[in-house]
Each structure stands twice: as C-alpha cells, then as structure tokens.
Amino acid sequence: MNTKSQAILLADLPSLPTVLMDALQFTADKQNLSNLADKISQDPHMAVRILRVANSPFYGMSREIGSLQEAVVVLGLNRVKNLLLGVAFMNLFPLDRQDFDYSQFWHHSMAVAECARQLAIHTGIDQDIAFTAGLLHDIGLLAIVLLFPDDFSRITTEPHLNRIDAERQILGFDHTEIGRDVAKHWNIPMTIQLAIEQHETPPAQDEGISLGLLIHMANLLVRTEQSNDPTLAYPAAVAQLLGMLNIPIDQAISWTNTSHQFANQVVASL
C-alpha cells in the first residue's frame, strides 16, 4: 500500500475526542494536569464511566467516590488520566463482528497497559507513557478490522501462518506497522509510535532498556497468562528478558495477575 493510499484510508478512522487529545498532550508534555479534571467534567458521560471504574472493587475504596474531583484526590490525577485514556479509546471503535472479540481485545490492551506501567515504575521509564503505549500497542488490529474487514476475515481463517505472517501475506504489512502509522496520524508521541511498532519484536541484547522492550515484555507476560499455548513456554521464554530488566519472575507474575484484575474491573465497569 503506497503512502498516498494509506493516508486516504487512515482518514476514515474516527477522530480523537478533544478530551482524549488533551490527555495525550498532557502525557507527552508533562504539563500541569490540574485543568484535565475540569475538561473531563465537561463530558458527563465520560465522567460517569470513570467514576464507575474508580468505585470498582479493584481500588478497594472504603467509601464511595462521588465526584471526579474526589477521584482525583483519592486516586491521583495521573491515575484518573489513565482511566480516561482507557475509557475514551474503548468507546472510539464501536465494532460489532462475529470474528472479532471486542471485549477480549480491550481486556488484553488494558492488562498490557497496567503491566507496562508496573514495569516502568521498576525501570524508571515514565509510567504514564508506558501505560498509554501499552493501551495502544495493538491499535493496528482495530485499524485492520475497520479498514480491511474482508482481509481481516481471511487472516483469522488462515490455518498455516501465525497472525503476523498472515497479515503480511494478505495485506503486505502487519498490525504493528499500521498501528505505528495510526499513532502518527493521530499525532501521538514518537516514542509511543516506535513502541507500537516494536511490541512483537524481541529486542537485541545490546539495545538496553527501552519503552519498546517494556511493551514487548508486558504483551508477552499478559498473553502467556491468557493462553494455554505451549509454544509460549512460560516462564522460560520471558526469563531472559526479565533478567535484562532485573525483575524476579515471581514479581512479574504478581504484576501480571494484578494487571488482569485491573482489566477485569475496567471492562466489567463499562
């Protein structure tokens, strides 16, 4: 697909809501986040959804959080911003297909986002950038479903190839590449664009710690916990990467379990 054709197709994607663009901008520039709560409050539907998640069992509040301002005080503005990103993106693509499990997709994305955030705290990488990159790492899959629905059906029924190879054979590119281009189309920060592109690619030993490594690691951890696929060889397949990050396997498993719990509550609350 040439650049011009791709630009035409990407123009068919939904535009980002203003409040979502604001949240992404705050993530990129580390501006004062105090105005973001006011912006969220201007969208009552969004505010209600965020409050529903904030009051879920995951956070274990001893009393009900009754306002967005209170949620910011109790959970912290960055946490509320992350919830905003998740809620907003989940509502951006109202897809309804029998061959695509929308709820499972967002569960996986939320779990990877939270797992990446935990990994980022440990490694010193910005946790908000990591959460956003984890949330959007598979956005290319949604783009393929939306822009190439017939080809997506062929990809899902291809018996002899893994998903990446099937995408490349049928489309000429894979979901990591178009995901990067979607992020670029939406003016999402370059570091996140690169992490989206790299999330299926094991990093080289000499590349060091990067956002791409964290998203790849989080994706692998979450996929392994979600799947009984013996080819993932958990935990052997992740031990070397965890060694690069100096993270004990027991700690990684704990973070992954917590990430699944977070995703359960977010998806169930919406």
Distances in whole angstroms, Cα of residue 1 to Cα of each of 4, 163, 236: 8, 19, 38
Tokens of 243: 């060694």
How many of the other CB atoms lie within 10 Å of CB of 40?
A: 25
Residue-level pLDDT, tens digit, the chain, 270 residues:
544 455 557 888 888 877 777 777 766 655 555 677 777 777 787 788 888 888 888 888 888 888 888 887 788 878 888 888 888 888 887 667 778 888 899 999 999 999 999 999 998 899 989 999 999 999 999 999 988 989 998 998 887 778 899 999 999 999 999 999 999 998 898 999 999 999 998 766 666 788 999 999 999 999 876 555 544 545 566 787 888 888 888 888 899 999 999 999 888 876
- Contact between 193 and 183 under an 8 Å Cβ cutoff? The reply is yes
Residues 57-116 pLDDT 10s: 888 888 888 888 888 778 887 888 888 888 888 888 766 777 888 889 999 999 999 999
Q: Give the integer Cα–Cα distance in Å for 210 and 150.
A: 36
- The pTM (predicted TM-score) of the whole model is 0.87
pLDDT at 204: 67
What are the structural domains of the chain? 17-91 (no CATH), 95-269 (1.10.3210.10)
How many of the other CB atoms lie within 10 Å of CB of 11?
A: 9
pLDDT at 230: 45
Q: Give the integer Cα–Cα distance in Å for 222 and 115.
A: 8
Cis bond leading into 235, ω under 30°?
yes
- Contact between 80 and 18 under an 8 Å Cβ cutoff? The reply is no
Residue 164 buriedness (CB in 10 A; 0-12 / 13-18 / 19+) = middle
- Contact between 23 and 36 under an 8 Å Cβ cutoff? The reply is yes
